[in-house]
Chains A and B, each alone.
Chain A
Amino acid sequence: MSDWSRAVSASAKESAPPGTTSATRKAPEATTSGHRGLVLEEELLFEQGSPDLSGVDLPPVEAFADRLGSLERKAPIGLPGLSEPQVVRHFTRLSQKNYAIDCGLYPLGSCTMKYNPRANERVARLDGFAEIHPLQPAATIKGALQVIEDLAHWLEVLTGMPAIALSPGAGAHGELCGMMTIKAALESRGEERRRVLVAASAHGTNPASAATCGYEIEAVPSNEKGRLDLEELERRLGADVAALMLTNPNTCGLFEDEICEIAEALHRAGAFFYCDGANFNALLGRVRPGDLGIDCMHLNLHKTFSTPHGGGGPGSGPVALSAALAPFAPLPWLVHGEKGLCLREGRSPPAAQSIGRIKGFHGQFGTFVRALAYLMSLGADGLKGAAEDAVLNANYLRTRLEGTLSLSFPGMSMHEVLFDDRFLEGTGVSTLAFAKAMIDEGFHPMTVYFPLVVKGAMLIEPTETESKASLDAFVASLEALAQKARAGEAAFFHEAPRLAPRRRFDEVAAARHPVLRWRPKAAAENGG
């Protein structure tokens, strides 16, 4: 997760720097085809092919008496027609316009873009996992239930918490699930607490999830060390506070060193402690949230446990629950019955107090298989080693870059390191422009303008799957860019990126007159 709010507004200002308009900029090398070497332009599917083509051969259907009532679709749908090679070429060309972790360093802070092992993909595609239906009879899905049981066990031991709710579809869904269990637990105590405190450095999903669950949100500021301000927290605690939502390590890349005191303060006030586990990668095998007094924490299988993010999902956001919250876990439950493992899909004991169902079927099973393959591959030793290398890589970048960029908070980093834009003061170069220049250097930019607790944030998370050579190359590029900024070459940054498949976009115009779909030419011209 990352925050691009200011990036969007900043790009509006910068997309047309003084003296240049889009009309005056020219492509560096015009070609007849519009392609530039391996950067191949690609029309939309709807602009290609012919309606009588198809990339799928199907057997002919003999005439039969249909049973559609009078509900047959008569008008053309408007889909294109392409043969298989055309479709394969289309998506291959599109893929070549994407940066990806397979291409290089993807240092998005708080997103944990680590290598996605291919072995995980292979096992998830086994017929016995990919081709089973969620409502098959119990006797035919024993292996699937064992996968879920095994994954839950790994996650329980890693978090030191007694229960795992596996159904949430992604991290934000896990947050919502967690807030629902907290609300249910409070209701069962006969308490109606209205407020949820959220750390100022939290991901935007935290306040959004708590608000969706009906809570009023109040921010708790950070102290000068980049940690949650304990005094400010205590000042806000009271009989109407349901919970605190805090990320640990936080989004400044720092361990919340007063976390045990925070937990005690919350529990004294009768509130629950929600921890956003997006940054759990730093702590694998070294720190267990359950030992810190945390009541509820979601994990992102698509971050910490290496399942691919796929250009925006699918995610998977299991929630670890304390003993106080476990009875409220969502349906279905996996329980040990007389005939071995079985699914409990209704609100009967032991699931009588469950919040109910929050998603269809049984969660993101395909990601469970991948995450389990990853856990088995690394093991207790490899997981601890992964956390250590992630922290080592982040600290190495901190050390190498603190003389170049402006380090926001001193001290040891966890899995990520936060810089801000003070080093760009007086250069006329913004954080956004600096990030865009990194694209030309062949790197995906870091998370920018998040967290909100510093100005012009640049949050870098290398993860453990980067080599030293990769980090050194990244440092060399950032050093050269910083030098360029200080040398007064602001125009260079305003123009960046120059070498990517596309230059900067007019995002403000896109939002003012949204075009969310293709339409046939005539319809588009008629405004239809």
Chain B
Amino acid sequence: MRYAPLSESDRRLMLAAIGVPSIEALYAEVPQKARREGLLDLPLGLSEMEVERRLRALAAKNVSASSAPFFLGAGAYRHHLPAAVDSLIQRGEFLTSYTPYQPEIAQGTLQSLFEFQTFVALLTGMEVANASLYDGATACAEGVMMANRLTGRKKTILSGGLHPHYREVVETYGRFVGFAVEAKDPAPQKGEDLASLIDRDTASVVVQNPDFWGELSELSALARACRDKGALCLVVVNEILSLGLVRPPGEMGADIVAGEGQSLGNPLSFGGPHLGLFATRERFMRQMPGRLVGQSVDAEGRRGFVLTLSAREQHIRREKATSNICTNAGLCALAFTIHLALLGEKGLKALARLNHQKAVALSLRLSRLSGVRVLNRAFFNEFTLCLPAPAEGVVEALAQKGILGGVPASRLYPGRTELADLMIVAATETASEEDMRRLEEGLMEVLR
């Protein structure tokens, strides 16, 4: 086996040193009835070439975003990833290191996570950020639980514009962790009055911006209402690139920001691994979930970075920890940091503007089609179309024409007939003029 560095003679020498006749003897303390003899009913090992051949064949059965005009979003976005990102994250020193428990020999990971935390705080307009969580949906659930701890209350109110997967994850956590979830119905294009729902049991109000339908909103009034009633305002951002162009939640008064960072540095990868972002106010720092990296000095007075505030965490506090998180999304956070470092202030703003421009141009094109309506007033790189036919069939018909046209709302809201004609369309910098033309023509043909 190509990954095995022990030779047969090594094994013999080692068994002799241990003083046993065979490998079998090393398993002597495993009860006989627990052991399996022979090989399991699984294929035998393959060469690298053969493994690659077989997996390539499976990959070829998928239609990739790079092989078709592509306009899907709804919480996962296709962006062009600079070559340097992937090259750098494949350096073995980053790729194959563990959680940085020994700071003297983990400054690469620790400094880049400190830079990551700074980037997330700057983008969201918040004071502090953690070193990442699994993904946006679980970050949202962790934020809700943090608000419960901070307020001593046990209810959360979810906007109807929250991504349905995020809502479902919060509902699952609510059922098993023990808090109440009041989820508003999805109502694209209609304003919702969340402020009036806040009562004395409400720990948090969760609202997404841009929301699931792509719509942008001013949230300052809601944040004020939360503050007046002793609840926390949790803002979800699942297209993090939007913050290159759109006022950040911190400026609108958010108390907690839970986000999805996949857009920067990370491929779609069929939905994971993605990157959970988590930012909040400095005074809530000690109730944050997950790893935190802090600045320190070493015994020679040199600046360096360490994992800090570990007294919140499971490996110290066990059942009293602020969360059970151990592993996070370190390498995805590194990719995010590298991509954002490459873009810089100038590049991020330009990329965000380019996304917006593409989406505005596409919305204008598609709204000219007969029977097609754009629902949004304000949006970033994604908007919702109301079609004259059920969107699911339209998306499938487009796929047959080799166009990945958008996400039908019914995929995430099955059985809701009032949403059946809605299709969510995203246009990023990767959408070419030709791609947009093909989507327009494809839609025209399908809807004819």
Contacts and interface: CB of A to CB of B under 8 A. Distances in A.
Given A103-B93, A106-B98, A130-B267, A170 B341 contact: no
Given A98-B108, A516-B293, A511 B246 contact: no
Given A286-B35, A358-B172, A131 B324 contact: no
A517 B66 CA distance: 36
A94 B244 CA distance: 26
Contacts of A95: 88, 91, 93-94, 108
B299 A503 contact: yes
Interface in B1-41: 1-6, 10-11, 13-15, 17-20, 23, 25-31, 33-36, 39-41
B58 A147 contact: yes
Contact of B62 (A64, A129, A310): A129
A464 B88 CA distance: 27
B345 A314 contact: no
A143 B52 CA distance: 14
Contacts of B146: none
B23 A392 contact: yes
Interface in B147-204: 163, 165-166, 168-169, 171-173, 175-178
Interface string B71-94: 010111010001010111111111
Most buried by A among B138, B271, B363: B271
Contacts of B314: 172, 204-205, 207-209
Given A135-B411, A444-B105, A67 B168 contact: no
A203 B19 CA distance: 32
Contacts of A455: none
Given A116-B96, A136-B63, A399 B19 contact: yes
B246 A97 contact: no
Contacts of B61: 128, 142-143, 146
Nearest to B295: A515
B270 A87 contact: no
Contacts of A359: 134-135, 137-138, 169, 272
Interface stretch (A72-80, A229-237, A484-492): A72-80
Contact of B6 (A5, A116, A131, A389): A389
A296 interface: no
A125 B248 CA distance: 33
A327 to B, nearest CB: 15
Contacts of B325: 170, 172
A51 interface: yes
Given A309-B96, A445-B102, A505 B4 contact: no
B443 to A, nearest CB: 15
Interface in A287-323: 287-288, 291-292, 302, 308-316
A150 to B, nearest CB: 8
Contacts of A170: 134, 325-328
A157 B41 CA distance: 7
Nearest to B267: A130
Interface in A407-421: 411-413
| Interface bin, chain B | 35 or more
A100 interface: yes
A46 B342 contact: no
A377 B344 contact: no
Interface string A488-528: 00000001010011111111011100111110000000000
Nearest to A135: B407
Contacts of A509: 296-297
A8 B269 contact: no
A114 to B, nearest CB: 8
Interface in A88-111: 88, 90-92, 94-103, 106, 108, 111
Interface in A148-206: 154, 157-158, 169-173, 175-176, 179-180, 183-184, 203-205
Contacts of A127: 59, 64-67
Interface stretch (A19-27, A265-273, A423-431): A19-27
B379 interface: yes
A422 interface: no
A393 B23 CA distance: 11
Nearest to A468: B10
A52 interface: yes
Contacts of B108: 94-98, 311
A360 B59 contact: no
Given A310-B334, A511-B308, A204 B321 contact: yes
B372 interface: no
A95 to B, nearest CB: 4
A145 to B, nearest CB: 9
A277 interface: no
Contacts of A388: 23, 26
Contacts of B376: 67
B45 A505 contact: no
B223 interface: no
Contact of B54 (A54, A59, A358, A376): A376
B104 interface: yes
Contacts of A111: 98
A71 interface: yes
Nearest to A112: B98
A457 interface: no
B448 interface: no
Contacts of B308: 507, 510-511, 514, 516
A184 B377 CA distance: 43
Interface string B305-340: 010111101111111110111111111101000101
Contacts of A495: 299
Contact of B29 (A131, A254, A377, A501): A254
A314 B134 contact: yes
B35 A287 contact: yes
Contacts of B213: none
Contact of A504 (B82, B298, B348): B298
A73 B246 contact: yes
B118 A517 contact: yes
Given A330-B172, A377-B48, A510-B295, A172 B39 contact: no
A391 B98 contact: no
A132 interface: yes
A157 B2 CA distance: 23
Given A137-B396, A212-B324, A505-B306, A439 B104 contact: yes
Contact of A506 (B171, B296, B346, B360): B296
A208 B319 contact: yes
A69 interface: yes
Interface string B393-429: 0011001100010010001101000000000000001
A465 B310 contact: no
Given A132-B64, A359-B169, A361-B165, A69 B319 contact: no
Contacts of A38: none
Nearest to A74: B247
B388 interface: no
Q: Which 4 A-B pairs have the closest CB atoms?
A: A361-B271, A128-B59, A310-B331, A134-B271
20 contacts: A4-B101, A26-B300, A53-B344, A72-B245, A92-B88, A99-B102, A100-B97, A128-B60, A136-B404, A141-B63, A169-B135, A204-B314, A205-B315, A310-B95, A312-B291, A375-B42, A385-B1, A497-B104, A505-B306, A517-B121
Given A286-B35, A361-B76, A392-B26, 5 more contacts: A56-B342, A82-B341, A313-B332, A358-B169, A464-B4
